[in-house]
Amino acid sequence: MAKRTLYDKIWDNHLIHSDNETSLIYIDRHLVHEVTSPQAFEGLRDAGRKVYAPHKTIAVPDHNVATTSDRLTNFGSEEGKIQLETLDKNAKEFGLNYYPVGDIRQGIVHIIGPEQGWTLPGMTIVCGDSHTATHGAFGALAHGIGTSEVEHVLATQTLIQQKSKNMKVEVTGALGLGVTAKDITLSIIGKTGTAGGTGHVIEYCGNAITDLSMEGRMTVCNMAIEGGARAGLIAPDEKTIEYVKGRPHSPEGEDWEKALKLWKTLYSDQGAFFDKELFLKAEDIAPVVTWGTSPEDVLSITDRVPDPNNFQGRKISAAKRSIEYMGLNPGDRLQDISIDAVFIGSCTNGRIEDLREVEKIVRGKRVKEGVRAMVVPGSGLVKKQAEEEGISATLIEAGFDWRMPGCSMCLAMNPDQLMPGERCAATSNRNFEGRQGRGGRTHLMSPAMAAAAAITGYLTDVRDL
Amino acid sequence: MDKFVKFSGIAAPMPLINIDTDMLIPKQFLKTIKRTGLGENLFFEMRYDSNGSLIKDFILNKDHYSSASIIVAGDNFGCGSSREHAPWALKDFGIKCIISTSFADIFFNNCFKNGILPIILSDDDREVLMEDANIVENSHMTIDLDNQKIIRKEGDSIDFDVDEFKKYCLLNGLDDIGLTLKNSQKIAEFEKKYSEQFSWA
Ligand code: SF4
């Protein structure tokens, strides 16, 4: 039999039929949130259609929800309120698995999927959200779709797709002190650029990847989309199985045994063909930050703001624009850049392990005066666990603002926003112009690095603390 | 969906690379529960200053280009989020075709679902059209999807590739869901087989 990649295998398992380039694939899990679904449900209703598989459809509000404790009554905006009410109505009317605001299990869609055991190896998972790639950490083929496709999946539990190409990113060796999963994934994008993975599904492999916890693997896959890839994948192993075992929606008994058998087949065959390959040494990866307004603008914290004239072609004008927007000067040391705000959270770094990292750095220290530092746990359960472990107490003591779960200042659709010109050390995944508020300036980094910045008030090399 | 017919229109040059979905339509406009009315806010932060006045220098604010129906764009157009609000806003503004060397995957798909044609050209061909778009007199072009040609002002043309199925759907204004439901027999057969092996899913 032909040698197949992990992606090929999952694809083959879900292929209903194909005509030339266009295929119809079966979808195992459909995650739905309030922002990209209202028009899809409306379309369904207009056409007199039903949700094909409500038991495989999971709905949760996250993008718009306020992160203040009065959020059940205080929505931040009238339009946001309407959107949340619309999801509530749709989830109930169509009988979906639903985690409303106020349910302790509510949180960012990509955090609660794995947490509740909806995300399992070998599955196809879609959501009207580009960071669906996160679930690839379990060896599931997971990617973002648009609202028309959301409607299509709701109505048919299938998706029309063209098969992507295969790309392999192998990271081997041991990470240095203070270097984390976030530094790996940012460094990869720094190498490939934001279009490097376009048209591909990336499989991450190598011992530096498999050495990561499931949380770390999710951080890596989360940003596959920033590298242009449709999805990221990591082959499931013992760690994966350990993580999913016993979750509320994981299989049990005979089904568990059956699932295990299939999961053991989920790896790329020796010698399987990849259209593109990239090899990185873990030793070469430093704690990094972004300096510009594209996630590919990645540099080691020990570097300086680049000179746009040292880039090639059209990147020259893009870099000029970025540096101006970011209010920087070529040649400035990154560590001399002072910050106004810190945002710790998002589907990239809003899990318990991330908060533990932050606590380690912050313990016994204080947030620099004048810095607004916010921690937003990725879900109600992450929040609860952090509170039980005493993490929240340490962070509050240090001067952090401890919030309710949601997307928050990752995209600033709720009231958590930067003011024009404000500079933020953020653990999220996008540093686009205006992403965290009009005129806001975002530097992406790991939770440990963001915590270090909160303490000193500057972009900081966490290894020096 | 409306059928995509051959049309002529003004092409606006936007050479910036990595034009992302947050630039196309910032998040404060994602709170709508409708598909329409977003055109006014397309490229919001580039188009309006903080007082809400039009920024005169922005290409789509210039007299001639404010009625553009084509954008000739820098590499990697539409990167970022899956928000279909981006093509909805483009469509509502009147954009029917975007020409670049590359597009982000999800955005590319979303365009087709909304009757917008994204065309991928070689760098050289795109540059020819970028120059045309830059010159008011040459900025008029014709998009002929049926024959896969972009016809320039002078009458010569540039060919482009497009996926057969996507072309067919655009030309006929077909709704994907309707098409898929024609396969419901196949889906049912697949599910039967699948549920034996994947009962746990
Ligand atoms: S946390 Fe940010 S990136 Fe993740 S789903 Fe929410 S808005 Fe999207």
A69-101 pLDDT, tens digit each: 999 988 888 889 999 999 999 999 999 999 999
**Per-residue model confidence (pLDDT) at position B154:** 86
**Per-residue model confidence (pLDDT) at position A21:** 78
* Of the partner residues B17, B83, B183, the one whose CB lies closest to the CB of residue A36: B83
Percent of chain A with pLDDT over 70: 100
What is the CA A362 to chain-centroid distance, rounded? 24
Q: Which amino acid is at A423?
A: R
Residue span of the structural domain in which B84 resides:
7-174
Q: How many domains does chain B have?
A: 1
* Of the partner residues B104, B177, B186, the one whose CB lies closest to the CB of residue A228: B104
> Which residues in chain B have their CB less than 8 angstroms from residue A321's CB?
16
Mutate to test the interface with A, among B35, B177, B195, B196 (most CBs of A within 10 A): B177
Predicted confidence (pLDDT) per residue in B114-153, tens digit: 999 999 999 999 999 999 999 999 999 999 999 999 999 9
Confidence of residue B98 (pLDDT cuts 50, 70, 90): very high
Asked whether the predicted pLDDT for residue A1 surpasses 80, the reply is: no
Highest mean pLDDT among A79-83, A103-107, B102-106: A103-107
Q: Is the dihedral of CA A221, A223, A227, A228 positive or negative?
A: positive
Confidence of residue A357 (pLDDT cuts 50, 70, 90): very high
**Per-residue model confidence (pLDDT) at position A61:** 97
Mutate to test the interface with A, among B81, B85, B101, B199 (most CBs of A within 10 A): B81
Q: Where are the beta strands (DSSP E) in B15-112?
A: 70-73, 97-100
Do residues B84 and B116 make contact, with C-beta atoms less than 8 angstroms apart?
A: no
Asked whether the predicted pLDDT for residue A165 surpasses 90, the reply is: yes
Task: Please indicate whether, in this complex, the C-beta atoms of B84 and A146 are within 8 angstroms of each other.
Answer: yes
**Per-residue model confidence (pLDDT) at position B201:** 87
Asked whether the predicted pLDDT for residue A293 surpasses 90, the reply is: yes
User: Is A372 a pocket residue for ligand 1 (Cβ < 6 Å)?
Assistant: no
* Of the partner residues A35, A156, A199, the one whose CB lies closest to the CB of residue B187: A156
Mean pLDDT score, A144-166? 96
> Which residues in chain A have their CB less than 8 angstroms from residue B31's CB?
35, 64, 77, 79-80, 82-83, 413
User: Is A429 a pocket residue for ligand 1 (Cβ < 6 Å)?
Assistant: yes
Q: List b or e across B169-183, with b for residues whose CB sees 16 or more CB atoms inside 10 angstroms.
A: bbeeeebbbebbbeb
* Of the partner residues A39, A149, A156, the one whose CB lies closest to the CB of residue B35: A39
Do residues A121 and A419 make contact, with C-beta atoms less than 8 angstroms apart?
A: no
> Which residues in chain A have their CB less than 8 angstroms from residue B30's CB?
35, 63, 413
- Of ligand 1's atoms, which has the minimum distance to the CA of residue A350? 1
**Per-residue model confidence (pLDDT) at position A20:** 75
**Rounded CA separation A206/A172 (Å):** 5
> Which residues in chain B have their CB less than 8 angstroms from residue A28's CB?
198, 201
Asked whether the predicted pLDDT for residue A228 surpasses 80, the reply is: yes
Asked whether the predicted pLDDT for residue A363 surpasses 80, the reply is: yes
User: How many residues would you count in chain A?
Assistant: 465
Q: Which of A379, A410, A413, A417 to mutate to test the pocket of ligand 1 (most atoms within 8 A of CB)?
A: A410
Asked whether the predicted pLDDT for residue A269 surpasses 90, the reply is: yes
Q: Which two tokens stand for residue A187?
A: 């460094």
Closest CA to A47 of B176, B165, B112, B87: B176
The overall pTM is greater than 0.90: yes
Percent of chain B with pLDDT over 90: 87
According to DSSP, residue A53 is labeled -
Closest CA to B78 of B36, B138, B127, B16: B16
**Per-residue model confidence (pLDDT) at position A77:** 86
**Shortest Cα distance from B87 to chain A (angstroms)?**
10
Task: Please indicate whether, in this complex, the C-beta atoms of B76 and A198 are within 8 angstroms of each other.
Answer: yes
Is the residue at B37 inside a domain? yes
**Per-residue model confidence (pLDDT) at position A447:** 98
Is the residue at B66 inside a domain? yes
Do residues A6 and B162 make contact, with C-beta atoms less than 8 angstroms apart?
A: no
- Output phi, psi for A441, to 5 deg: -115, 120
Mean pLDDT of chain A: 96
Mutate to test the interface with A, among B82, B176, B181, B184 (most CBs of A within 10 A): B82
Is the residue at B199 inside a domain? no
β-partners of residue A26 are A158
Is the residue at B2 inside a domain? no
Q: Which two tokens stand for residue B135?
A: 């010159």
Kindly list the distances between the CA atom of residue A462 and the CA atoms of A177, A183, A315, A350, A454, in Å, as whole numbers in the listed order. Answer: 9, 12, 30, 19, 11
Task: Please indicate whether, in this complex, the C-beta atoms of B23 and A433 are within 8 angstroms of each other.
Answer: yes
Instruction: Report CA(A126)–ligand 1 centroid distance (Å).
Output: 15
Q: Which two tokens stand for residue A31?
A: 């995650």
**Per-residue model confidence (pLDDT) at position B2:** 83
What residue owns the CA closest to ligand 1's atom 6?
A407
User: Is A444 a pocket residue for ligand 1 (Cβ < 6 Å)?
Assistant: no
Mean pLDDT score, B97-106? 96
User: Is A63 a pocket residue for ligand 1 (Cβ < 6 Å)?
Assistant: yes
Confidence of residue B196 (pLDDT cuts 50, 70, 90): confident
User: Is A412 a pocket residue for ligand 1 (Cβ < 6 Å)?
Assistant: no
**Per-residue model confidence (pLDDT) at position A182:** 98
B131 CB-near residues (< 8 Å, 6+ apart): B138
Asked whether the predicted pLDDT for residue A205 surpasses 80, the reply is: yes
Task: Please indicate whether, in this complex, the C-beta atoms of B79 and A194 are within 8 angstroms of each other.
Answer: yes
Confidence of residue A147 (pLDDT cuts 50, 70, 90): very high
Mean pLDDT score, A419-435? 97
CATH number at residue B163: 3.20.19.10
Is the residue at B143 inside a domain? yes
H or E segment to which residue B126 belongs: helix B123-134
Mean pLDDT score, A288-297? 97
**Per-residue model confidence (pLDDT) at position B178:** 86
Helices assigned H by DSSP within A47-77: none
Q: Where are the beta strands (DSSP E) in A35-113?
A: 57-59, 97-98
Mean pLDDT score, A340-354? 98
Confidence of residue B1 (pLDDT cuts 50, 70, 90): confident
Kindly list the distances between the CA atom of residue A456 and the CA atoms of A140, A281, A299, A300, B125, in Å, as whole numbers in the listed order. Answer: 40, 30, 20, 18, 50
**Shortest Cα distance from A119 to chain B (angstroms)?**
10
Mean pLDDT score, A187-214? 97
Asked whether the predicted pLDDT for residue A275 surpasses 80, the reply is: yes
Is the residue at B182 inside a domain? no
Task: Please indicate whether, in this complex, the C-beta atoms of A120 and B163 are within 8 angstroms of each other.
Answer: no
Asked whether the predicted pLDDT for residue B40 surpasses 90, the reply is: yes
Predicted confidence (pLDDT) per residue in A240-266, tens digit: 999 999 999 999 999 999 999 999 999
Kindly list the distances between the CA atom of residue B19 and the CA atoms of A257, A346, B46, B52, B73, in Å, as whole numbers in the listed order. Answer: 48, 23, 11, 21, 8
> Which residues in chain A have their CB less than 8 angstroms from residue B22's CB?
430, 432-435
Mean pLDDT score, B63-86? 95
Kindly identify which residue of chain A lies nearest to residue B164, measuring between CA atoms.
A21
Task: Please indicate whether, in this complex, the C-beta atoms of A411 and B200 are within 8 angstroms of each other.
Answer: no
Instruction: Report CA(A426)–ligand 1 centroid distance (Å).
Output: 13
Instruction: Report CA(A411)–ligand 1 centroid distance (Å).
Output: 7
**Rounded CA separation B170/B164 (Å):** 10
What residue owns the CA closest to ligand 1's atom 4?
A347
A390 CB-near residues (< 8 Å, 6+ apart): none
A392 CB-near residues (< 8 Å, 6+ apart): A383, A386, A402
Is the residue at B192 inside a domain? no
According to DSSP, residue A365 is labeled -
Mean pLDDT score, A284-302? 98
Predicted confidence (pLDDT) per residue in B160-192, tens digit: 999 999 999 999 998 889 889 888 999 999 999
Is the residue at B189 inside a domain? no
